[in-house]
Structure 1
Amino acid sequence: MNKRLLHIATLLFIAVFAVGCSADEAEQSHSDNQTQQTEENGNMEEQNEDIVRITISKDHQQEYINEKEIEIDKGAVLMDVLKENFYVKTAPDGQITSIERVAAKEDEEKVWTFTVNDEAVNVDAAAYELSPGDQVSFDLHAQ
């Protein structure tokens, strides 16, 4: 009888030990998955930190023309980024005359203006240094 109790106690101990180890492995696996997901989200945030969004529209955003999210390098200048990613024409004085082949007609008194993060900027696009996360809007409209 004592041998039988010893056998049962041993089997019970092994079963409890196996279940305990299994729970630890599942918890460790769950923890590893959370860590990996957190790292992936962090990497996505890091990638998104170097992104700007440029939107092109017409007549105070009444007509949508194009929009792109663009990865930038530190110190990127707006005009350079614009020309690298859109079809842009400028006048000899540097003023933008056409973006994505959209320009004012000869009898229209419209100009291209831009805002950054919904605020007017008092510097030319050729002199404006972009920051990660900037939202830039170019709009062709009457003055």
Structure 2
Amino acid sequence: MKKLVVVLAVLMMMLAGCGTAETKKSSEQPKTEETKKQQVTVNITKDNGKEKVTEKKVAIKENDTVMDVMKSNFKLDLIYNDAFINGIDGVKGNEQDKTSWFLSVNGKDATKGAKDIKVKPGDVIGFDLHKYE
């Protein structure tokens, strides 16, 4: 009788362990799908898109701005009270060459700063380094 109780106890523990593992797997799948949906693409180019520097798909959180996305995924050189991106991953604009980073979202030139533009899943953020004259 004691052997039967021990065997039943072991079987119950094994079944409980299997149930937990199955629950964990099924709960992970929606998170993966949700993460895929909560992404934007960041394209970094030079000379009006003639030279592609990098393209990244990056995760976003609710209420993220373009600046939040950039700070989380790139090394930035910020100026004017951290409101203006002067450099991305070591590539900087400069007054001597009259170059600067220009921002676009979904192919349209930005009319606000990176701190003021909230991103949405699927957005394409573009930064292009080119002459401003």
Fold-level match, TM-score > 0.5?
Answer: yes
TM-score scaled by length of structure 2: 0.70
Equivalent positions of 1:1-143 (< 5 A) are 46-93=34-81, 94-143=83-132
Residue 25 of structure 2 is matched in structure 1 by none
| Aligned partners of 2:94 and 2:100 also within 8 Å | no
Cα shift at 1:60: 0.6
Q: How many residues of Structure 1 are paired with residues of Structure 2 in the alignment?
A: 103
Unaligned 5+ segments in structure 2 are 1-28
Larger Rg: 1
Q: Measure, in 2, the Cα distance between the counterparts of 1:45 and 1:117.
A: 23
CA shift digits 1:38-85 (9 cap, x unpaired):
xx7x87654332010001111111111122111111111110110110
Q: Measure, in 1, the Cα distance between the counterparts of 2:104 and 2:95.
A: 25
TM-score scaled by length of structure 1: 0.65
- The percent of aligned pairs where both chains have the same amino acid is 30
Runs of 4 or more above 3 Å deviation: 42-47
| Aligned partners of 1:110 and 1:141 also within 8 Å | yes
| Aligned partners of 1:78 and 1:125 also within 8 Å | yes
Q: Secondary structure at the match of 2:121?
A: coil
Q: Measure, in 2, the Cα distance between the counterparts of 1:105 and 1:74.
A: 33
**Amino acid aligned to 1:58:** K
**Amino acid aligned to 1:131:** K
Cα shift at 1:132: 0.6
Unaligned 5+ segments in structure 1 are 1-39
Residue 5 of structure 1 is matched in structure 2 by none
